[in-house]
Structure formats: structure tokens, C-alpha cells
Amino acid sequence: MSTCSKTPAVFLTTLWLAVVASGCLLSSSSITKYSGQFVAEEALGRIKVGDNQQFVISLLGEPTSRTENDDLTIWKYAYNRTTTKKKSILLVIRDRDTTETTGAAYVEFDANRIVTRTWSVR
């Protein structure tokens, strides 16, 4: 067999191996974990001015903290989010990036335990 006839076969074999092995060459993953009391914007948006504390508890659960004075009460739902992204090349070189963020959702009540406003800090 001549050298010229081997060249396409070697090229095609190399190309096939590169395509098949590419799944093993590079890999990545991402994992997100929450701690505390995470409240999605959708859930917070369901709470309207005029709702009572029982409705809020049934929807969000108990708050992580409460601040009370004579004429208003604020419930805080605080959380911590940790996202870890991992990358590896040939299962040998690894890159790990961890990001931590904190946030909270707040519900404010008047002296009659009625919602006066909600907001979040993300």
C-alpha cells in the first residue's frame, strides 16, 4: 500500500478518535446549594397588600427572623446560595470556581398583622 493511500485512512481514524474521545477530554459540571429560607420572586409576588400573617406562613413558612416594634413587624427570609462549577481536562487538570451569594425576602405587617409591603434583596 502506498503512502498516499494510507494518508486518508490515518486522517479519518484520527478524526474519528478525536470526536469519540472529546467527551472524555473536557467535562464540566455545576452544583447549586441553598441554605436558609430561599423565597423565589414568584412566591413573593403572590403575597399582596392586605394579606394576613397566616397566609404568608402557609405560603412561605416561618421566617428566619422577625423584627417587631409598636406599629409594624418585618419578617425576613434569609438564604445563602453556593454555586460550584468544576471543569476538567483529560480528568487530570481541574478548575473549581465557587461563588457564594446571600439574599433575603422581606414582608412588612402593620399593627393588625396585615401585609403592607414586600421586597427582596438579591
With CA atoms as reference, report the closest residue to 51 among 116, 119, 111: 116
At 109 the pLDDT is: 98
State percent of the chain over pLDDT 70. 81
At 13 the pLDDT is: 72
Q: What is the pLDDT of residues 6-37, one digit of tens each?
A: 677 777 677 666 655 555 567 788 999 999 99
Measured CA to CA, the distance from residue 95 to residue 86 in angstroms comes to 6
Instruction: Give the pLDDT band (50/70/90) at residue 89.
Output: confident
φ and ψ at 23, to 5 degrees? -65, -30
Taken in order of first residue, the domains within the chain and their CATH numbers are: 26-121 (3.30.1450.10)
Average pLDDT estimate for 61-90: 93
Instruction: Give the pLDDT band (50/70/90) at residue 2.
Output: low
Is the confidence at residue 1, as pLDDT, over 70? no
Q: What is the pLDDT of residues 34-54, one digit of tens each?
A: 999 999 999 999 999 999 999
Using CA atoms, how far residue 98 sits from 34, 37, 44, in Å, is 13, 20, 27
* Cα distance between the two ends of the chain: 68
At 71 the pLDDT is: 94
